[in-house]
Amino acid sequence: MSAKGEHGGFSRIELIAIAGLASEEGSITDEEAEMLQNTLELRGMTIRDVMTPQNAVFYVPVSMTVSEFVANHIPKDFARIPLEDDGKLVSYAMYSEILEAQLDSRDIPLSEMAYPLSEVSDAKPAYEAFESMVKHTHKMLAVTDEFGQVVGIVSDEDLLEAIVGIPIADETDLHASPREHMLKQQSDDVDDTSESESDDSVSDGEEEEQQG
């Protein structure tokens, strides 16, 4: 099916170009043009393009209690904390509600304050997922691959960032982009491990020279 029929005679690529021309002519601002272009480009993206991979996601066991979380993971920079059960992300808890429970001396399992984590295929168009999240007021979804295995998460902020073109954070998030922060943290951890291994190799070499 031709894309032209979907946009009243213009393809998605043509509309993106028109938005750019409108910006150059001053009909709309650069920011408005970028947002329009990003919205149109979102139709060509999948959830896989905007999700946070599971190996870059911070999560805790669903059985963890409020006191255990506070003792081991305070402070934390994210508004929502994914919960896992037997290695699978199944729900999430609100960071602010965990803190409230601690202040109220309610030492309960996080599962008792958890919100369900609906699943979405990583091949699903990102724009359809965004519409679904708005319709059903989902804040976070578990992303599955073709085999039904959970491979990451996608939040409303991830999709809004793709549209607006700038990092967006929940009002309780400390970082401008939780997704970018998690991916950077993962990259930093890999770099730290590589540097540590390199230092160990140098130390071993120096010891061998001294022994020789």
Q: Between 68 and 131, whose confidence is greater?
A: 68
Q: Show the CA angle centred on residue 157, arms to residues 69 and 50, nearest 5°.
A: 105
The predicted-structure confidence for 101-119, as pLDDT tens digits, reads as follows 999 999 999 999 999 999 9
CA distance 173 to 180: 12
Q: Is residue 212 part of a domain?
A: no
> What CATH number should be reported for the domain holding residue 143?
3.10.580.10
What is the total count of domains within the chain? Answer: 2
What pLDDT does residue 155 have? 87
Domain that holds residue 19: 3-42
**Is residue 141 packed enough to be buried (19+ CB in 10 Å), middle (13-18) or exposed (0-12)?**
buried
The answer on 53 and 35 residing in a single domain is no
Q: Between 12 and 24, whose confidence is greater?
A: 24
- Pairing type for strands 88-94 and 80-85 reads antiparallel
- Pairing type for strands 52-53 and 88-94 reads unpaired
Is the whole model's pTM more than 0.85, yes or no? no
Which residues, listed in sequence order, are joined to residue 121 by a DSSP beta bridge?
Answer: 144
User: Measuring CA to CA, how many Å separate 77 from each of 107, 144, 187?
Assistant: 21, 25, 17
What pLDDT does residue 16 have? 43
The predicted-structure confidence for 46-93, as pLDDT tens digits, reads as follows 999 889 999 999 999 999 999 999 999 998 888 899 999 998 999 999
User: Residue 187 pLDDT > 60, yes or no?
Assistant: no
What pLDDT does residue 5 have? 44
Q: Is residue 159 part of a domain?
A: yes
Q: What SS3 class is residue 96?
A: helix
Confidence of residue 14 (pLDDT cuts 50, 70, 90): very low
Q: Which residue has the tokens 């549209």?
A: 163
The answer on 13 and 78 residing in a single domain is no
